[in-house]
Structure formats: C-alpha cells, structure tokens
Amino acid sequence: MKRLFVSITLLLVILAGFAQAQTSDRAGSVGALFLKLGMSPRAAAMGNTYLGLSDDISGIFLNPVSIVGLEGYQFYFSELEYMVDMRAFAGAISFPIWERIGGRAAIHYTGYYSGEMTMTTESDIDGTLTNRKFTWNELALGVTYARAFTDKFAIGGGVKYVRTDVADFYSYTVAFDVGTLYKTGFRNLRIGMSATNFGPDMKFKGNYGNTYISSIWQVNVPEEFGYYPLPIAFQVGIADELYTAEDFRVTGAIDYSHPNDLAERIHVGAEFAYDEMVFVRGGIFMDMDKSDIVDPIDPGDDALDRYWEFRFGAGFQFSNVTVDYAWQDVENLESVHRFALAFKL
C-alpha cells in the first residue's frame, strides 16, 4: 500500500509538471473557465480549501475522492449567481457500487449560462449595426469512481465531457480528474491531492474571416480557429481539527494550488461547527507571485500586483438535509453568491 501511495503521489507531481510554474500575467490564456468557478459553497467559503477535507458530495468538483466515505444515495444541487446576471448550476448523484467491486460512483453536471448579450465587433462596439443577440453557454457532464484501499488511503478518478457553445460556434473535449486522500494517523490530520481538468486542447469548429491588408487592398481569408488549453490545476492540502469539544468543533485547512494560467496560490480556511448542525466558515487565498505588468494609465496602481480575497459562508444540517451558502466580494463588481442543497436516502 505504501508503494501505491508513493506511485500515485509521483503521478500527480508529474502531471503538475505539465502545467509549469506560471505568473498572474498568463490570466486569460485558457478556456472553459467555468470549470474554475467553484460549485461547492462549503469550499468557496473556506477560501477554496478542500483537499484535506474531501468528505462530502460537494467536493466532487474539486477532488474526485471526496465521495469515498459517503453512505447510501446522496443528491446535490448548487447554484452560483455570478456577475452581470451570469449563472452556473451543478448537480450530482452518488451511489454505492456492487459489493464485489467496492467503492462508490457518481454522475455530475456543471452548466454555465451567460444570458443574452449584444453581439459587437471592433468597428461596431455598441452592436447597433450588428443588431444581433447571442449566448455563451458551457457544460461538463462526467462520471467519477472512488475507492478506499485501507482505512487510511483512498483514491478517486473521473472523466467528463466538456463543451462550449458561443453563438454559432462550438468546441468540445474530454477531461480527466484524479485525486487521493491520506489519513496520517496523527491527530486527525488528513492530506489530499488532486489534478483536475487534464485533457486535449479545445478548438472551435468552423472558420472565421481574417482580414489582411496588402498595399491598398484588403483581403478577407477564411481561417480555422486555434487550439486553447483547459484550466489544468494541481492542488495539495491538509486539514485537521484545531479544537474539539462535546458540541463544538473547529477545523482548519491549508491548500496550495498550481494552475496553468495564474500564479500559484495559498488558500487558508476554517470551519466552526456547533453540534454538527450549524456551520460558520471563512477563508482567504492569495497569489504567491506579483505581476510584472505595469498599469499604463497609473503606474503606481498596485491592482495588478499580488491578489488576495476574503470569503465567508454558513451552513445548516438537519437530519439528512444540508443547506450551504457562500459569499464572495469581487471588489468593484457585484458580489457573488453560492447556494447548495444536499440530501441523502
């Protein structure tokens, strides 16, 4: 079992190597960004810390091993009210596998919907000449399997179909997730790792007109769209109970994330639980590298420097039903709200 744990750890480290160290200057260099929105209010409220917890159905979008300790049939629904009336929805069903195989499986869905937008061009920035509306919609539909090999070590993996539809164009690919959870035996310290959204690059189908200027002539040439990568991320985290009493628990968590489009980030969060019925959560995360970009209008503005953000949320559990909420401040833009409902049979 130790060899298996070491092998899986090495595999995750190798996969992380493909992402290569990045800085915040690469923001916007990948597609299918809806996969990074965070459809778990619990994790989002704790500053996106979850790898060391990985113990409920909402975590299936962050670490596929999170379903391994669940019992019976569990159902999960989540809504994210994003900026400028954009929304995302997620759902998951987790169930046990036949005893002779062991483990658990889940089917999950994430959908992102922009609502109607006015189509504009570089010469028609208001869309008055185009006079056309369009939508930007994305989805991911996947299956996940997780199994505990000992009382301390578990592994999970998943595959999902990812698709983006923009006006009359679309692109799609298949992505993979893998994750582990290890209980160290020291206190209740857990270590989790995951590599998410690994898969072939995406490419929009069809052609677009590219205009070339030659002398006094303008030539419009149809060209194919280029490829763009998925938002690949390697993450590792730890969690432990900082304080426990008969009716009270405080759990702390720290995660390190290594995305392929942003600087590495540190996430710190805590969950306060009363009688395992009422939960209050808070957390922060920040970039580990400063941007080299200088604001051309105000060189002294540090808005492009190291980024960090505070989040908080709450939850309530009664019998077999759990309700969670998370709030996120996006500075000059609207606040982001996440809601989730989970129940088991």
Bin 188: left if φ > 0, else alpha if -120 < ψ < 50, else beta. alpha
- Of the ranges 186-190, 200-204, 306-310, which one carries the lowest mean pLDDT score? 306-310
Domain ranges of the chain: 2-344
pLDDT of 43 strictly over 50: yes
Q: How many CB atoms lie within 10 A of CB 220?
A: 9
- What three-state secondary structure class fits 11? helix
Give CA angle at 140 (139, 143), nearest 5°: 155
pLDDT of 285 strictly over 70: yes
- Interval 166-186 mean pLDDT: 93
pLDDT of 326 strictly over 70: yes
Q: What is the pLDDT of residue 25?
A: 53
Q: How far apart are CA 25 and CA 150, in angstroms?
A: 42
* Structure confidence at residue 110 as a pLDDT band (50, 70, 90): very high
Residue, of 125 and 59, whose pLDDT is higher: 59
Tokens 């595999």 belong to residue:
11
Q: Which of 249, 234, 187 is nearest to 10 (CA)?
A: 234
DSSP 117-170: EE--BTTBTT-TTT--EE-EEEEEEEEEEEEESSSSEEEEEEEEEEEEEETTEE
Q: Which of 337, 342, 340, 345 is nearest to 86 (CA)?
A: 337
At residue 236, what is the residue type? V
Residues of the chain with pLDDT > 90: what percent? Answer: 59
Q: What is the pLDDT of residue 298?
A: 56
pLDDT in tens, 143-159: 999 999 999 999 999 99
Q: Dihedrals φ, ψ of 140, to 5°? A: -140, 125
pLDDT in tens, 214-242: 666 667 778 888 899 999 999 999 999 99
How far the first Cα of the chain sits from its last, in Å, is: 33
Note whether 193 and 180 are within 8 A (CB).
yes
* Structure confidence at residue 5 as a pLDDT band (50, 70, 90): very low
**CATH homologous superfamily for 2-344?**
Outer membrane protein transport protein (OMPP1/FadL/TodX) (2.40.160.60)
Q: Dihedrals φ, ψ of 223, to 5°? A: -130, 155
Give all strands (DSSP E) within the chain, no chain letters: 74-81, 87-96, 104-113, 117-118, 133-134, 136-148, 153-166, 169-183, 190-198, 202-203, 207-214, 217-224, 227-228, 233-244, 248-259, 265-274, 278-287, 308-318, 321-328, 336-344
pLDDT in tens, 246-274: 899 999 999 999 888 877 889 999 999 99
- Of the ranges 36-50, 124-138, 248-262, 263-277, which one carries the lowest mean pLDDT score? 124-138
